[in-house]
Structure 1
Amino acid sequence: MKHRLVFAAALIGFLASVVAAWVFGIQQPPQPPVFQPAANPYAHGVYATGIVESDQSAGANVNLYPEVTGTLTRLYVHDGERVKAGDVLLTIDDSVQRANAEQLAAQALAAQALLDELKAQPRPETRDVADAQVQAAQANLKMAQDTYAKQKQAWDIDPKAVSRDVLDSAENAMHVARANLDVVARQDRLTRAGAWVYDVRNQQGQVEALRKAAASADALLAHYTLRAPSDGIVLAVNTAQGSYLSQQGVYDTYTQGMAPVIVLGTAPERLAVRCYVDEILISRLPQPGQLKGRMTVRGANIAADLTFERIQPYVTPKIELSDQRAERVDLRVLPVIFRIEPQAGLRLYPGQIVDVYIAAR
Structure 2
Amino acid sequence: MKIRWLLVLSVIGLLIGIGAAIYYAQQSPPLPPVFQAAANPYATGIYANGIIESDQQSGANLNLYSEVSGTVARILVQEGQAVKRGDALIQVEDSVQRALTAQQQSQADALDAQLNALLAQPRKETLEVTRAQVTAADASLRTVQDQLDKLEAAARLNPKAVSRDAMDNAANAVRVAHGNLIVAQRQYELTRAGAWSYDIRSMQKQRDALQKGAAAAAALLDKYTVRAPADGIVMSVNTSPGAYVSPQGTYDAYTRGYVPLVMMSSGQSQLAVRVYVDEILVHRLPSNTVKARMFFRGTDVSVPLEFVRVQPYVSPKVELSDQRSERVDVRVLPLLFRFKQPDKLVVYPGQLVDVYLQGAS
TM-score by length of 2: 0.91
Partner of 1:167: 167
Partner of 2:357: 358
SS of residue in 1 equivalent to 2:160:
coil
Assess if the C-alpha contact under 8 Å between 1:50 and 1:353 holds in 2: yes
Report matched runs for 1:280-319 at 5 Å.
280-289=280-289, 291-319=290-318
Residues 339 and 4 of structure 1: CA distance in aligned 2, closer, same or farther (over 3 Å): same
The letter of the residue matching 2:146 is D
Hey, what's the Cα distance between the residues in 2 that align with 1:359 and 1:108? 66
The letter of the residue matching 1:359 is Q
Partner of 1:103: 103
Residues 7 and 190 of structure 1: CA distance in aligned 2, closer, same or farther (over 3 Å): closer
Partner of 1:339: 338
Hey, what's the Cα distance between the residues in 1 that align with 2:74 and 2:302? 41
Report matched runs for 1:194-213 at 5 Å.
194-213=194-213
Partner of 1:50: 50
Hey, what's the Cα distance between the residues in 2 that align with 1:98 and 1:10? 94
Hey, what's the Cα distance between the residues in 1 that align with 2:101 and 2:253? 36
Partner of 1:122: 122
Partner of 1:328: 327
Hey, what's the Cα distance between the residues in 1 that align with 2:190 and 2:16? 134
Hey, what's the Cα distance between the residues in 2 that align with 1:64 and 1:109? 35
Hey, what's the Cα distance between the residues in 1 that align with 2:346 and 2:284? 31
Mean Cα displacement is larger for which, 242-251 or 340-349? 340-349
Hey, what's the Cα distance between the residues in 1 that align with 2:13 and 2:143? 159
The letter of the residue matching 1:93 is E
The letter of the residue matching 1:274 is R
Report matched runs for 1:207-222 at 5 Å.
207-222=207-222
Hey, what's the Cα distance between the residues in 1 that align with 2:2 and 2:172? 171
Displacement of 1:18 in angstroms is 5.3
The letter of the residue matching 1:189 is E
Displacement of 1:117 in angstroms is 1.3
CA deviation map 1:229-285 (0-9, x unaligned) = 222111101111222221211110000111111100132232221111111110000
The letter of the residue matching 1:95 is S
1:238 aligns with 2:238: yes
Residues 5 and 89 of structure 1: CA distance in aligned 2, closer, same or farther (over 3 Å): closer
Mean Cα displacement is larger for which, 278-287 or 163-172? 163-172
Assess if the C-alpha contact under 8 Å between 1:62 and 1:265 holds in 2: yes
Hey, what's the Cα distance between the residues in 2 that align with 1:5 and 1:151? 173
Mean Cα displacement is larger for which, 5-14 or 165-174? 5-14
Partner of 2:94: 94
Partner of 2:62: 62
Paired positions, count:
360
Hey, what's the Cα distance between the residues in 1 that align with 2:354 and 2:273? 10
The letter of the residue matching 2:332 is V
Hey, what's the Cα distance between the residues in 1 that align with 2:160 and 2:3? 190
Assess if the C-alpha contact under 8 Å between 1:307 and 1:341 holds in 2: no
Hey, what's the Cα distance between the residues in 2 that align with 1:2 and 1:241? 83
The letter of the residue matching 1:249 is G
Assess if the C-alpha contact under 8 Å between 1:305 and 1:341 holds in 2: no
TM-score by length of 1: 0.91
Residues 135 and 41 of structure 1: CA distance in aligned 2, closer, same or farther (over 3 Å): same
Residues 190 and 349 of structure 1: CA distance in aligned 2, closer, same or farther (over 3 Å): same
The letter of the residue matching 2:40 is N
Partner of 2:151: 151
Displacement of 1:146 in angstroms is 1.9
Partner of 1:259: 259
Hey, what's the Cα distance between the residues in 1 that align with 2:165 and 2:9? 170
Structure 1 runs not aligned, ≥5 long = none
Displacement of 1:35 in angstroms is 3.3
Partner of 2:184: 184
Q: CA RMSD in A?
A: 2.4
Structure 2 runs not aligned, ≥5 long = none
Assess if the C-alpha contact under 8 Å between 2:154 and 2:161 holds in 1: yes
SS of residue in 1 equivalent to 2:159:
coil
SS of residue in 2 equivalent to 1:216:
helix
